[in-house]
Chains A and B, each alone.
Chain A
Amino acid sequence: MSGILAIVIAALVLSILGLLFGAGLGVADHFLKVPTNPKVAELREVLPGANCGACGYPGCDGYASAVGEGKAEIGLCAVGGPACAAKMAAIMGVESNGAGTKLVATVACQGYGEHCRPKSTYEGIQDCVAAALVNSGTKACQYACLGLGTCERACPFGAIKVDPVKKIAVVDQEKCQSCKKCVAACPQHVLSMQPIDRVVTVGCHNPEKGIALKENCDRACIGCSACEKACQFDAIQMVNNVPVIDYTKCVGCMACADACPTGAMQADFDSRLEAYINQELCVGCNICNKQCKFDAIEGGLKEKHRVLGACTGCGLCAQKCPRKCITMRERRAPRNKMDKAKPLATPAKPAPAKPAPQGEKA
């Protein structure tokens, strides 16, 4: 009997002790409560948890609390991308601010192979940081991608590789998670973050100017500003003798790449479109003609209009056509800058010759 009593007493004593402590904790919780924002926890759930720091905050927790307190904007998460931004916007009850275009690492150097030869044989530590310290890099151009794979080793996603043949960094845009680790690692500052949906890419970043640069690399940007002048959309500005493209203004007409004398401005001309005017629907309102910044539409008021070879495929006319008779289609022939509508005063020498093939297309 006494044994059972001892057990009961023991249990009672411990239970009472536990109850007392529990009550104490409850009281302490009441006084020491830290008000937490429930939105922060929700935001944290939405974030990918990579803790990469690309948003500029210490990890996903830091970013979530910064957004929750209204100190940070949504959509800074590079890894989560637009989907994550949309979810965060839903939690915070705001519109996604369109900062959703995924940025990917971009290599601003095309100096491989014969374009930019090594100026000496480098046999030191096989790392760009080490190589960059010796004699301003191993290549003829001191700003060139050295191709020793520092970015490749910095990338946690396997998205950037040094091309085995070209010996230059190549980014797998699908794998890139925009963490900017390669950008920070590159001693040559060749890498930068650019929108994944861009059409033209500045393929050089040397800040010097002059045709003499072509001796070092025939794809160098010589700072001639031809692209800036060619751009009809005010999207290019020369900064430190290198074009900087405002991709919010760029329509992807590739006129800058057409104008570039060295090929430093990269564009995939195979994917270029051209406008096509449906002759049956065209009423000759001349709106497209007025819109065209490249004089690539022929035909006066009340005439059927035709697109000439100078069309860059910017798509402006297709947007503006009130009859919706202009469509963008794959190019039948590469752009011919000279094949453009002439002012009426001059004898239209190429004009009679050109309409024939255009007519066939129609």
Chain B
Amino acid sequence: MNAVLTILIGSIFVNNFAMSRFYGICPFLGVSKKLETAFGMGMAVTFVMAIASLVAYLVNQYLLIAFNLEYLQVIAFILVIAVLVQIVEMIIRKISPGLYQALGVYLPLITTNCAVLGVAQLNVTEGYNLVLSVLNGVASALGYTLAICLFAGIRERLSLGNLPKWMEGFPGAMIAAGLMAVAFNGFSGLI
């Protein structure tokens, strides 16, 4: 139970993927203009991360370790993630064409999203078992969703605000992201 709580708090707040580990910054900045799409992105990442943690664990445990091929972890995980992203893309396209349009190029970009690869790698280095791996994946993704949704809310407000011309758009967003990271830094030492 203690381990579960540690993973939850640790992955969502303390070692937040976007704000503390700085993984997945490309979609974090790219899809955070609107809260709605940001949440959609977060959910897509959550789905991919959860399944990726599961499949990556199985592949690692029963294929790579069994054949003494641990050095192939990165390439095998990328393979897993790429396939998962493809499936997610198909599902979203089927279920919600609007979200598919809104996510645009950032959806296939999850493939190369270091956050997903990062969570698979972390699970291995931390030595989590199957349940904890999936939990860590989900918790990390929820932390990412939390960060991107908060950030999208800030950006929605910023876009309405009376910013100087040179601060409009990305400059303001970058500074906002930096300040958010400082705020998330306050969680450090919690575990």
Contact string against A for B residues 74-97, beta-carbon threshold 8 Å, 1 for contact and 0 otherwise:
011001100100110011011001
- Contact assessment for B83 and A10 in the assembled complex, using a CB-CB cutoff below 8 Å: no
Contact A25:B76 (CB < 8 A) given known A9-B67, A13-B67, A32-B94: no
**Do B93 and A34 have beta carbons less than 8 Å apart?**
yes
Digitize A183-217: 1 where CB-to-B-CB distance is under 8 Å, 0 elsewhere: 00000000000000000000000000000000000
Q: Is the CB of A13 within 8 A of B79?
A: no
Question: Known contacts A10-B69, A14-B72: does B83 contact A21 (CB below 8 Å)?
Answer: yes
Contact A21 B69 (CB under 8 A): no
**What are the residues of chain A within 8 A of B94 when measuring CB–CB?**
32, 34
Q: Is B25 an interface residue (CB 8 A)?
A: no
Question: Do A25 and B69 touch across chains, with their CB atoms under 8 A apart?
Answer: no
Query: Which chain B positions have C-beta within 8 A of A25?
Result: 83, 86-87
A–B Cβ pairs within 8 angstroms, 7 of them:
A13-B63, A13-B67, A13-B72, A14-B72, A17-B79, A22-B83, A32-B90
Interface of B is mostly: helix
- Docked Cα-Cα span, A308 to B166, in Å, equals 67
A36 to B, closest residue via Cβ: B93
Q: Given A34-B93, A34-B94, decide whether A28 and B87 contact each other with a Cβ distance below 8 A.
A: yes
Chain A residues within 8 Å of B9, by CB: none
Closest to A32 in B: B90
Given contacts A14-B76, A14-B79, A24-B83, contact A29 B69 (CB under 8 A): no
Complex Cα spacing A33 to B72, Å: 32
Task: Report B-chain residues with C-beta under 8 Å of the C-beta of A24.
Answer: 83, 87
- Docked Cα-Cα span, A61 to B64, in Å, equals 45
Contact B83 A13 (CB under 8 A): no
- Please measure, in the bound complex, the distance between the C-alpha atom of A73 and the C-alpha atom of B178, giving whole angstroms: 48
Q: Please give the distance in Å from B96's CB to the nearest CB on chain A.
A: 11
Closest residue on chain A to residue B91 by CB atoms: A32
Write the A1-12 contact mask toward B (1 if CB under 8 angstroms, else 0): 000001001100
